[in-house]
């Protein structure tokens, strides 16, 4: 009961916070920064970064550079919002490709070749011989976070939560090396990883980007991963040697945000910040990480992008970091008093390069002005530019040779890299339950079921070809193996058979069923959840398991997820249950352990597994630690244990926590409700794929359909280019304007609607609502759909969506 009270209280608090945010905070006093004592922090030092010969070259270059060129080095633009020609007028120092950003003139999902061409196109302009221009190569960065995961044909390694379960720092070095080779082979110089977050709340959508809730494990992985990517200190660290810069992130405290809300506030004292969240950084600096990425989130109310004590006094001072600090995606714009296009404070706090994907031009102009008038002191500019040039030299970017690009076809998805990834898959599997059904004999007849069984996108998770990992099909992964394909290979080799049947139907009773299911891919924001219950709505996987059990078939669950979730009912319906995380492109690693018995399980949990869906901050060492499976748990063939029937009360009502789905298959998603005013009526009709899967709305005159619900805060989603997507069919074309409002902003949509009679998608960007008057930081009245004359539309779905393709913003 006490626990329930605490949760009720937490919700009460969060809805107060939302109310407070409904009004723009005018004249609010910023919180006082928490004092920092650099001497308390573990010391570190970038190894031999200061080479007098290189420093002299930098001094010489800087003496020739104009202020405009210096400021340019400090700004990074995104491939989706800049052309190489732009660099003539705006001499920027860096380019990134965001999760949804394509190479130039090619689709977002592209193999290495167009990426190489893109990198060269920017370099060509940056290195042009022009009067009054100092030729400096660009540094090109990408989210190569589980392999070079944004490029078609790359080897994809398990996401970090799975790698944590391996407890194998030496394999991390191999993974880093293979990732670097494939990144360098794609014309890219810089991987935005590894994430050194120590996730403390599994509701956080980025929990899977962290290796463990345990700071010691994160610390143990930092150096080998960085040395794998960059080469060890004292060895060649250049792109010519197939190495790329790492970027440890997100400095600092991202894994500690209150309630697991991405880009939120980490409310801990200095000692806790050091003990838990800083654990990976001193070893990362000692191992020579060339860059550090600042975090979106705040520490006790102060945005990290503006926290001078931590960025400058601690990181560059106490920790002796001599590389450069890069910002996160318009992260500077979240500092009070800053905008995406104007923010001297971030540079004065110690940021060396701002990530200004679409805001680079404005930020360049304002920063130049601040440099000219001394708002940003010249010494600060010179320090930032020196750090950036130092890394460009260290990486060999001034040398035109690119041997890895020349052999990209051999390097991308190389068998040797895939073998490392497959081994990582084997080592990351954690056996949670086995009542004797595993290992499966290689002569068995096996039914392979579940919607993730033969889906490489599903097994790869977020940050895979697209930002959220959505929209991928098996054809996007040449050379990869699905979990089903791996099982099939293993059984065929042993005389058994594998039959793929997503829905679990069969004509001949199999010896055993392997059911592959789990979380859909996601990245930040969309991955944030309010309850740890798996599939709180339809419990589809549970229904499938129950059906197979009822038919007398032993069941093995392979659960794909970024984090531990509450799956007690699913575990109860499984004879064996394997936590497989997001294994990536080498699905055959699953069969290596499940089939035949030659390879045993060695994986052990690096995140504690919950007993109830409300155990959000379940971390070893907490006073009330009461997990279902403790940190370090993992069964094997050698070491078995009986798992008794588990309780099936989740402890929290998950439906009360939704803020991003409004209508799903014609049903109002809780806690949202629908209201009708005026001359409009509703009834259920069939959708494209479901009986009674849509709500038909008929206007006979003036009226509106409202969606009412809790206050919404969608400013972070707007910054990330998300949109409101409506799946609809126009039934009667309107003869007068039809509008959709989100809070106080209204967009006219009748001209954006498709022809009557076909199911279509309408996507309006959140930024568009912002331009039409929505205050995205606090929306009190969610949606209203208004018409003044006869009009009819059927709606099956309405939600916040992430894929920007096809987004419109009507005038
Ligand atoms: C993420 C970073 C990522 C960057 C570039 C941000 O939104 O927080 O982790 O490296 O975008 O895609
Ligand atoms: C980009 C990501 C980025 C995110 C910012 C997306 O549009 O593709 O790379 O991390 O926005 O939150």
Given a contact cutoff of 8 angstroms between Cβ atoms, the answer to whether 221 and 169 are in contact is: yes
Q: Is 648 a catalytic residue?
A: no
Q: Which element (helix H / strand E) includes 5?
A: helix 2-22
Q: pLDDT per residue over 395-441, tens digit each?
A: 999 999 999 999 999 999 999 999 999 999 999 999 999 999 999 99
Pairing of strands 723-732, 759-765: antiparallel
Rg (Cα) of the chain, in Å, rounded? 27
Whether the pLDDT of residue 610 is over 70: the answer is yes
User: Which residue from 631, 617, 607, 634 is spatially nearest to 161, judged by alpha carbons?
Assistant: 607
For the chain, helix, strand, coil in percent to 5 are 35, 20, 45
Given a contact cutoff of 8 angstroms between Cβ atoms, the answer to whether 163 and 424 are in contact is: yes
Site to probe by mutation for ligand 1, drawn from 100, 148, 192, 210 as the one with most ligand atoms within 8 Å of Cβ, is 192
Q: Is the CB of 725 under 6 A from ligand 1?
A: no
List strand residue ranges (DSSP E) for 439-590, in order. Answer: 445-449, 497-500, 512-518, 555-560, 576-579
What is the Cα 754 distance to its own chain's centre?
33
CATH 3.40.1010.10 fits 658-801, yes or no: no
b/e code 524-553 from CB counts within 10 Å (16+ = b): bbbbbbbbbbbbbeeeebbebbbbbbeeeb
pLDDT given at position 3: 34
Q: Which atom of ligand 2 is nearest to the CA of 80?
A: 8
- Ranges 94-98, 344-348, 668-672, 750-754: which has the least confidence: 668-672
- Ranges 90-94, 165-169, 224-228, 710-714: which has the least confidence: 710-714
pLDDT-derived band at 811, boundaries 50, 70, 90: confident
Q: Is 524 a catalytic residue?
A: yes
Q: Which element (helix H / strand E) includes 675?
A: strand 673-685
pLDDT-derived band at 2, boundaries 50, 70, 90: very low
Which pairs count as long-range contacts for 335-340, CB under 8 Å and 24+ apart, including other chains? 335/303, 335/305, 335/306, 336/30, 336/303, 338/306
Q: Which atom of ligand 1 is nearest to the CA of 296?
A: 8
Superfamily per CATH, domain 429-653: Glycoside hydrolase family 3 C-terminal domain (3.40.50.1700)
Half-sphere exposure of 585 (CA within 13 A, CB side): 32
All structural domains of the chain with their residue ranges: 40-409, 429-653, 658-801
Q: Which atom of ligand 2 is nearest to the CA of 802?
A: 7
Please tell me the distance from the alpha carbon of residue 706 to that of residue 672, in angstroms, as a whole number: 10
Number of Cβ within a 10 Å radius of residue 760? 16
Whether the pLDDT of residue 264 is over 50: the answer is yes
Q: Which CATH architecture has domain 40-409?
A: Alpha-Beta Barrel (3.20)
Q: Which atom of ligand 1 is nearest to the CA of 195?
A: 9
Please tell me the distance from the alpha carbon of residue 531 to that of residue 432, in angstroms, as a whole number: 21
Q: Is the CB of 98 under 6 A from ligand 1?
A: yes
Q: What mean pLDDT do residues 579-589 have?
A: 98
Q: Which of 174, 328, 358, 454 is catalytic?
A: 328
Q: pLDDT per residue over 102-137, tens digit each?
A: 999 999 999 999 999 999 999 999 999 999 999 999
Residue reference for tokens 């398990």: 158
Q: Whose CA is nearest to atom 11 of ligand 1?
A: 329
Q: Is the CB of 330 under 6 A from ligand 2?
A: no
Q: Which of 201, 519, 524, 797 is catalytic?
A: 524
Q: Whose CA is nearest to atom 4 of ligand 2?
A: 720
Please tell me the distance from the alpha carbon of residue 193 to that of residue 773, in angstroms, as a whole number: 37
Please tell me the distance from the alpha carbon of residue 747 to that of residue 750, in angstroms, as a whole number: 10
Structure tokens at 283: 């070893």
Please tell me the distance from the alpha carbon of residue 517 to that of residue 542, in angstroms, as a whole number: 10
Q: Is 604 helix (H, G, I), strand (E, B) or coil?
A: coil
Task: Say which ligand is closest to the CA of 100.
Answer: 2
Q: What mean pLDDT do residues 507-511 have?
A: 98
Given a contact cutoff of 8 angstroms between Cβ atoms, the answer to whether 248 and 226 are in contact is: yes
């Amino acid at each position: 009961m006490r626990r329930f009270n605490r949760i009720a209280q937490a919700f009460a608090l969060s809805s107060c916070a939302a109310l407070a945010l409904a009004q723009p905070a005018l004249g609010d006093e910023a919180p006082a920064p928490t004092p920092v004592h650099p001497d308390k922090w573990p010391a570190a030092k970038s190894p031999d970064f200061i080479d007098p010969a290189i420093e002299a070259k930098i001094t010489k270059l800087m003496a020739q550079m104009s202020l405009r060129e210096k400021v340019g080095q400090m700004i990074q633009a995104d491939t989706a919002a800049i052309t190489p020609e732009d660099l003539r007028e705006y001499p920027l120092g860096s380019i990134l490709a965001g999760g949804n950003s394509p190479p130039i003139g090619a689709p977002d999902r592209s193999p290495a070749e167009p990426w190489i061409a893109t990198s060269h196109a920017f370099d060509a302009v940056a290195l042009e011989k022009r009067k009054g221009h100092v030729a400096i190569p660009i540094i090109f960065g990408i989210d190569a976070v589980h392999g070079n995961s944004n490029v078609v044909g790359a080897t994809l390694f398990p996401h970090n939560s799975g790698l944590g379960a391996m407890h194998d720092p030496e394999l991390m070095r191999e993974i880093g090396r293979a990732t670097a080779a494939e990144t360098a082979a794609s014309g890219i110089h810089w991987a935005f990883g590894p994430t050194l977050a120590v996730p403390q709340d599994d509701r956080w959508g980025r929990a899977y980007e962290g290796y463990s809730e345990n700071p010691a494990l994160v610390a143990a992985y930092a150096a080998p991963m960085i040395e794998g990517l960059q080469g060890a200190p004292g060895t060649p660290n250049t792109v010519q040697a197939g190495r790329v810069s790492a970027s440890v992130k997100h400095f600092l405290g991202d894994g500690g945000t209150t309630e697991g809300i991405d880009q939120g506030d980490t409310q801990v004292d200095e000692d806790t910040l050091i003990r838990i969240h800083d654990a990976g950084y001193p070893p990362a600096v000692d191992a020579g990480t060339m860059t550090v990425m600042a975090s979106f989130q705040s520490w006790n109310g102060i945005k990290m992008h503006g926290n001078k004590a931590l960025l400058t006094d601690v990181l560059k001072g106490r920790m002796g970091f001599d590389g450069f600090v890069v910002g996160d995606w318009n992260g500077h714009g979240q500092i009070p008093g800053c905008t995406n296009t104007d923010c001297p404070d971030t540079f004065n706090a110690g940021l060396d390069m701002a990530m200004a994907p679409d805001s680079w031009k404005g930020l360049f102009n304002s920063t130049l002005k601040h440099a000219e008038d001394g708002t940003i002191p010249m010494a600060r500019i010179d320090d930032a530019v020196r750090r950036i040039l130092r890394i460009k030299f260290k990486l060999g970017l001034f040398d035109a040779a690119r041997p890895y690009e020349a052999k990209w076809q051999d390097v991308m998805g190389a068998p040797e890299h895939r073998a490392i990834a497959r081994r990582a898959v084997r080592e990351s599997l954690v056996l949670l339950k086995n009542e004797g059904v595993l290992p499966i004999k290689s002569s068995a007849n096996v039914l392979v079921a579940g919607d993730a069984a033969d889906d490489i996108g599903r097994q790869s998770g977020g940050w895979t070809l697209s930002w959220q990992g959505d929209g991928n099909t098996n054809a996007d992964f040449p050379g990869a193996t699905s979990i089903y394909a791996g099982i099939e290979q293993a059984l065929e080799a042993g005389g058994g058979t594998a039959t793929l049947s997503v829905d679990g139907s069969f004509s001949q009773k199999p010896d055993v069923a392997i059911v592959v299911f789990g979380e859909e891919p996601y990245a930040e924001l969309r991955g944030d959840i309010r309850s740890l219950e798996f599939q709180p709505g339809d419990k589809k996987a549970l229904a499938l398991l129950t059906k197979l059990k009822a038919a007398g078939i032993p069941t093995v669950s392979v659960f794909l997820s970024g984090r531990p979730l509450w799956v007690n009912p699913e575990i109860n319906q499984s004879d064996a249950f394997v936590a497989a995380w997001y294994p990536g492109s080498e699905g055959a690693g699953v069969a290596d352990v499940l089939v035949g018995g030659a390879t045993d399980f060695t994986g052990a949990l690096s995140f504690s597994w919950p007993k109830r869906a409300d155990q959000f901050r379940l971390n070893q060492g907490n006073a009330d630690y009461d997990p279902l499976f403790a940190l370090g748990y993992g069964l094997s063939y050698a070491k078995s244990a009986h798992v008794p029937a588990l309780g099936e009360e989740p402890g929290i009502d998950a439906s009360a926590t939704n803020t991003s789905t409004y209508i799903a298959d014609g049903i109002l998603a809780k806690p949202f409700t629908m209201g009708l005013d005026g001359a409009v009526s509703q009834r259920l009709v069939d959708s494209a794929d479901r009986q009674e899967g849509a709500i038909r709305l008929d206007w006979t005159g003036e009226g509106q359909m409202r969606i009412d619900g809790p206050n919404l805060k969608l400013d972070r989603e707007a910054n990330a280019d998300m949109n409101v997507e409506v799946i609809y069919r126009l039934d009667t074309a309107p003869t007068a304007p039809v509008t959709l409002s989100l809070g106080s902003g209204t967009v006219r949509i009748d001209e954006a609607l498709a022809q009557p009679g076909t199911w279509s998608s309408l996507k309006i960007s959140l930024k568009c609502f912002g331009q039409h008057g929505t205050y995205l930081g606090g929306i009190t009245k969610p949606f209203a759909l208004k018409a003044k004359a006869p009009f009819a539309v059927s709606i099956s779905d309405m939600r916040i969506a992430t894929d920007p393709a096809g987004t419109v913003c009507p005038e």
